[in-house]
Amino acid sequence: MIKKLTATAFAMLALLFLGGGVRAQGKPKFRVIAFYTAKSDQAHISFVHEANKWFPEMAKKYNFTYDSTNVWSNLNAEYLSHYQVVLFLDTRPEAPEQREAFKKYMENGGGWIGFHFSAFALTPSGYEQNWDWYHNEFLGSGQYGSNTWRPTPAILKVENASVPYVKGLPETFKSAPNEWYRWEKDLRNNPNIKILLSIDPASFPLGTGPKQSEIWHSGYYPVAWTNTNYKMLYMNMGHNDIDYEHHTNKDLSHTLENEYEDKLIINTLLYMGTHKNRK
């Protein structure tokens, strides 16, 4: 005789059928949920598709579960209660109730990794800076300032090597091609921020233009950091190179084919998923 499912059992059963879901073998160490939009800029869409192939492979390898969704209304307390780590693959939540649910999730010790465009904000634009907690307190970066073009690799330098997220990374390494962002605020002046990776001066000139403003010749540019008040990591990577010139929209590079960037992500996931303390 089939017994009726309890509400909790039904909710967990529903999670098994989420798009992009991957179950770990045996009892999983932790659960990861990725939110994405994948509607704007082929380079960001390309990364979302890449991530939704790569993370399931990592889930099987490291014994965690990975789900992904483009339904941002799922960003609520009940749904998030099933996950230890949240990813923003390309954008951020816009609805006030979604933003509040995410803020409470982070304040209660949840883990988060944000990629590239998830930190973007510029007023005026389609993604205005209208969320002070997220951009000014949580990320600490404020608004977007400018970017390099076209997407190119950079030599990245490890800072704050004692943070577990960067364990095993060399002092410097060459990244995958990326569009690099400059920010409104100097993160070095924020006592809550630990910068983990920055662009090494050996990278300059960085970018090829055609605009001269898109080629950086000097300066200090953080590209991965954590806020010690939360269990979080932001990394500027997540913009693949695309063949725009010939109108093919063909992928010319992939973010998750870089040994050390991959290691940073896996280190962070494993730490966030299995530790309660913050970094």
Residues 157, 203, 215: CA angle, nearest 5 degrees: 130
pLDDT for res 246? 84
Q: Flag whether 12 is in a domain.
A: no
Q: Flag whether 225 is in a domain.
A: yes
pLDDT for res 279? 58
Q: Is the pLDDT of residue 2 over 60?
A: no
Q: Flag whether 1 is in a domain.
A: no
Q: Flag whether 10 is in a domain.
A: no
Model pLDDT for residues 164-200, shown as the tens digit of each residue: 999 999 999 999 999 999 999 999 999 999 999 999 9
Q: Is the pLDDT of residue 7 over 90?
A: no
Q: Flag whether 126 is in a domain.
A: yes
Mean pLDDT of all residues belonging to the chain: 91
- Residue 25's pLDDT band, with cuts at 50, 70 and 90, is low
CATH number at residue 174: 3.40.50.880
The H or E element that residue 104 is part of is helix 96-107
Q: Flag whether 105 is in a domain.
A: yes
Q: Is the pLDDT of residue 82 over 70?
A: yes
pLDDT for res 23? 52
Q: Residue 241 sits in which domain range?
A: 29-274
- pTM for this structure? 0.90
Q: Flag whether 180 is in a domain.
A: yes
- Lowest mean per-residue pLDDT among 12-16, 31-35, 40-44, 72-76: 12-16
Count of the separate structural domains present in the chain: 1
CB environment 120-159: b (16+ within 10 A), e (fewer): bbeeeeebebebeebbbebbbbbbbeebbbbbbbbebbbb
Model pLDDT for residues 104-115, shown as the tens digit of each residue: 999 999 999 999
Q: Flag whether 18 is in a domain.
A: no
